[in-house]
Amino acid sequence: MKAVVVHGPGDLRVDALPDLQVAPDRVAVRIVYGGICGSDLHYAADGRNGPYTVTEPLVLGHEVVGVVARSGRDVRDDAPAVGTRVALHPATPCAPPDATGATGLHLRPGGTYLGSASTQPHTQGGFVELLEVLPGQLRPLPDGLPLRRAVLAEPLAVALHGVTQLGERVRGARVLVSGAGPIGALAIAGLRHAGAAGIVAADLQDFPLTVAAAVGAGETVNLSAGDSVPESSFDVVVEAAGGRALARHRVERGAPRRRRAACTACCRANRSRSPWRPSSSMRSRCSARSASTPNSTPRSPSSPRIRRSTRC
């Protein structure tokens, strides 16, 4: 069985692993597609992701989809059957598939995440031919959804979580999305679906801005070409670029027009760092708070509060 394994900084290999023996309470999924996250890039290039350093061979990948291949003998009959096309929830413990509200399970001590060096031993990831997971991590996919598109489910969930946290603030709002990479583009699609009146995407490159326009941005701004974003002209700012200076710049541009400004952070801020020092080019679970939400630290009415992410 082959897998994509990082052994250290710049040392990425396709290794042969022992054949998988499925535990009685687990299922095996034959992986078909995997998305490459910023955390995977950091592990591959630097041998670490924020404070988490690779100290043993680590199979990368947590954005994966595939087909159920085997079930352990103790797996319940109501679990997805062999042959079912599924996306995988990368965290344990994870909320049940029918959960509609926050569970807080991602904050529970001792949790794990696929393809992460945050645990010892490391939690092996999904860039492997056959992956063993708990039945509760399976998310069956609609018949008409191609697996190649379904692999966006995990990063889409990141973006949709942030948009959902904003609630009714989105409907009718003028929104600035800073950073038009995968999370920014998916956030734009979610914002458009949630009823945003106008969306402006800002980035440093033309290609992501082209994608942003295709998924719902009405205006695009290439900052590297000398374009600029007007100040105090947005109700909501989505920070999906991951740069400290850019984050401060966007807050200035997001001063409230109708006293309902909010800011969503879609970049991973490592636990060991200040909330204003997110790791560049990395993605995380989104968090949003209204500028009017009370906070223990004094701040100006237009300053956002960024919740740092769980480990990855």
Instruction: Note whether 172 and 237 are same-domain residues.
Output: yes
Instruction: Note whether 162 and 185 are same-domain residues.
Output: yes
Does residue 306 sit within a domain?
no
Instruction: Note whether 135 and 265 are same-domain residues.
Output: no
The stretch 233-260 carries a mean pLDDT of 65
Q: At residue 306, does pLDDT exceed 90?
A: no
The model's pLDDT over 155-213, given as tens digits with 9 standing for 90+, comes to: 999 999 999 999 999 999 999 999 999 999 999 999 999 999 999 999 999 999 999 99
Instruction: Note whether 6 and 126 are same-domain residues.
Output: yes
Domain that holds residue 74: 2-151
Q: At residue 247, does pLDDT exceed 80?
A: no
CATH code for the domain of 214 = 3.40.50.720
Instruction: Note whether 186 and 106 are same-domain residues.
Output: no
- pTM of the predicted model as reported, rounded to 2 decimal places: 0.77
**Structure-model confidence comparison of residues 312 and 137, the more confident one:** 137
The model's pLDDT over 90-122, given as tens digits with 9 standing for 90+, comes to: 999 888 888 877 788 877 888 899 999 999 999
* φ and ψ at residue 286, rounded to 5 degrees: -80, 155
Please tell me the total count of domains within the chain: 2
